Amino acid sequence: MKKMRFDMENFGPWEIDVAPTVYPPREDTELLCRAISRLTGKASKAVEIGCGSGVVSMALSTLGWSVNSYDVNPYAVACSRANVERYGFEHKITVREGGVGEEGWEVPEGTKLIVWNLPYLEPPEEGAPSLEPIEEASMSDLGNGGWSKELLDSLEDSDNEGLTVVVLFRTDPISPSNPDDWLSSGWSSRTLEMERIGDEKLEVLALWKTGSGVIEDREELCESAMDSARGMPNTGWQRIVVENQISGRGRRGTAWESRPGDLLASWKINREPSEISTPGMLQIGIGGAISESLNCDLKWPNDLISARGEKIGGIMIEANSSNPGFRIGIGINSSPREVGGVSCQGWSGTMGMISLETVFRIVDGRVSGILENLEMVPDIDQEILEMISWKALSRSLSRGVQAEFGNEKIRIVGIDVNGFLLVEADGYEIVVSDSHSVTWRY
C-alpha cells in the first residue's frame, strides 16, 4: 500500500491509499475532476464506474452528489472505502464491487449522472504480454467498440431522460471506444475538457439523449423544410425531416435539388445565436462537426464536399425579426449524381452504404452537441467551436487545395469570430466575408 496526495482547485487536499493493481490518481483524474466541476444544474444521484482509489467519487460528493461507486477490482473497492471513510464521505458515497459487463449489474434507478474514466490502454494482441487479469479489466480497453460500446448497450433499454453521461475518451490515437458510436445511436456529445498528455489526446465528453429522446417531426412533402420549421413550437429541441420539398433553397436563394433517400432536415433553435457564438461561426462549426462524422471535407463557409471538391451537402442558417430564435437547414446527398452538368457526391462515397436514419441521427447529434440548451451541461466553449471549424477547413488545405481571391493566389491563415476567412496576399492579411469572391482549386 502506498499513499498519494491529491490536491487541486475545489477538491482536497486528500491523502489517498493506493493498493497494488489499483489505478492511482493521475493527470487524467484531474482532467475528469475539472470536467465534472463544470456541470451545471442540481446535483442528485450519480454513478461512478471504475472508481479506483475513490478520488472522483469524493469530488462528486464535494459537489453535492450522492454517489454509487463501482469497480471490478476488489482491491480498488477496499481502497475507495478506506479513503471515503477517512474523509467522512461514507454517508454520501456507497462503494460496491461490480461494473459494466458484470452479470446482474445495472444503473440504479433515479441516476442522473454517470461518470467513467474509460480504460484506454490498447487491448493486448493474442500472445502478447498483458497485465494481470484484475489490472487488465480496469486499465485496458476492449476490442469491437470498447468499454464505451458496452456502456452504451447497457443503457439501450433504460429510461435515459434527464441522464447525463460524462466519459473520458482517448481520441488520439483513436481507441476502440469511439464517441461516434453514441452519435449513431441517437445521443449527442459536447466536449467539457481536453488535454494532450504525451502522445495522447484525452477528451472528457458529456453525452445525453438528443432532444431528451423527443422524436422529430416527419413530412412526406412540403414547400420547404425551412418554412415548415418556422411553425414548430417555441420550446424544446425541434426538428423536421422531409422526404421531398417543392421549393428547397440553398445559400442566396439558389434551388436545392434532391432525390429520394437524401437527407432534408431543418431545426428550429429556440434561443438566440448570440447566446453561443455568431451565426457565421455557428454555420462553419456545425458544418465542421458534421464533416468529421461523415468523413468528408468542408468548403468555406457551408458546403460539405468530397476530397475532390464535389459537393455532398450544405448547411444554412436563417433568422428574421418576426420569429424568435433561428433555423438551420441541412441537405445531404445520399449518392453521386450530376446536377446542372456538375458532378456531385453523396455520403455513400465517404461512408459507404449507411441508412438515411443513421445519417440523420449523426447529424442531429452533431447539431445538438453545439446548440441544444441543457440544464446539466454548459454551452460549448467558443474556443472549441473555433477549433472544430478550423480543423475541418484545414483538412483540404493540408492536401494542397489552392484558393484565389481576385485572380491572385492567397494563403488561408485562419477564421475570425464571425466565421470570415483570414487570408494573406502580397504580405497583407485581409478579411474575406463573401464566399463568391474566393475560387478554390482542387
Cis check for the bond before 273: say yes or no (omega within 30 of 0). no
State whether 236 and 180 are in the same domain.
Answer: no
Q: What is the mean pLDDT of residues 34-41?
A: 97
Helices (H), 319-429: 348-351, 356-371, 382-397
Instruction: State the cell numbers at 185.
Output: 445511436
The predicted-structure confidence for 79-135, as pLDDT tens digits, reads as follows: 999 999 999 999 999 999 999 989 889 999 999 999 999 986 555 455 444 445 555
Write the DSSP assignment of 251-275 as a string of letters: GGG-B----TTSEEEEEEE-S-GGG
The pLDDT score that the predictor gives to residue 131 is 44
Which of helix, strand or coil describes residue 339?
strand
Instruction: State the cell numbers at 407.
Output: 485572380
The pLDDT score that the predictor gives to residue 143 is 62
Burial of 231: CB neighbours in 10 Å, binned 0-12, 13-18, 19+: exposed
Of 20-24, 78-82, 284-288, 289-293, which range is least confident? 20-24
Residue 103: what are its φ and ψ, rounded to 5°?
Answer: -60, 130
State whether 434 and 388 are in the same domain.
Answer: no
Share of the chain above pLDDT 90, in %: 81
The pLDDT score that the predictor gives to residue 426 is 84
The predicted-structure confidence for 49-72, as pLDDT tens digits, reads as follows: 999 999 999 999 999 999 999 999
pTM, two decimal places:
0.92
* R_g of the chain, CA atoms, integer Å: 24
State whether 298 and 414 are in the same domain.
Answer: no
The pLDDT score that the predictor gives to residue 129 is 41
State whether 170 and 31 are in the same domain.
Answer: yes
CATH code assigned at 167: 3.40.50.150
Buried b (16+ CB within 10 A) or exposed e, 236-266: ebbbbbbeebeebbbbeeeebebeeebbbbb
User: Does residue 391 register a pLDDT over 80?
Assistant: yes
Asked which of 188, 211, 234 is the last residue of a domain, the reply is 211
User: Does residue 230 register a pLDDT over 50?
Assistant: yes
Helices (H), 107-246: 133-139, 146-154, 180-183, 225-230
Burial of 322: CB neighbours in 10 Å, binned 0-12, 13-18, 19+: exposed
CATH code assigned at 222: 3.30.930.10
Q: Count of residues for the chain?
A: 442
State whether 181 and 88 are in the same domain.
Answer: yes
State whether 202 and 244 are in the same domain.
Answer: no
Task: With beta carbons less than 8 A apart as the criterion, state whether 48 and 56 touch.
Answer: yes
Asked which of 184, 211, 238 is the last residue of a domain, the reply is 211
User: Does residue 405 register a pLDDT over 80?
Assistant: yes
State whether 278 and 326 are in the same domain.
Answer: yes
Q: Which domain holds residue 419?
A: 402-441
Task: With beta carbons less than 8 A apart as the criterion, state whether 232 and 255 touch.
Answer: no
State whether 364 and 420 are in the same domain.
Answer: no
State whether 429 and 293 are in the same domain.
Answer: no
State whether 94 and 176 are in the same domain.
Answer: yes
Q: What is the mean pLDDT of residues 16-45?
A: 96
Residue 104 region by backbone torsions, left for phi larger than 0, else alpha for psi between -120 and 50, else beta: left
State whether 303 and 411 are in the same domain.
Answer: no
State whether 123 and 177 are in the same domain.
Answer: yes
Higher pLDDT, 24 or 257: 24
The pLDDT score that the predictor gives to residue 340 is 87
pLDDT bracket for residue 324 (50, 70, 90): confident
Q: What is the mean pLDDT of residues 154-168?
A: 93
The DSSP code for 373 is -
Q: Structural domain tally of the chain?
A: 3
The pLDDT score that the predictor gives to residue 148 is 95
Asked which of 176, 211, 246 is the last residue of a domain, the reply is 211
CA-CA distance, 321 to 171, in Å (whole number)? 41
Beta bridge partners, 38, equal none
Pairing of strands 11-18, 303-305: unpaired
Cα separations in angstroms, 306 against 296, 410, 421: 5, 22, 20
The pLDDT score that the predictor gives to residue 96 is 97
The DSSP code for 121 is B
Task: With beta carbons less than 8 A apart as the criterion, state whether 229 and 206 touch.
Answer: no
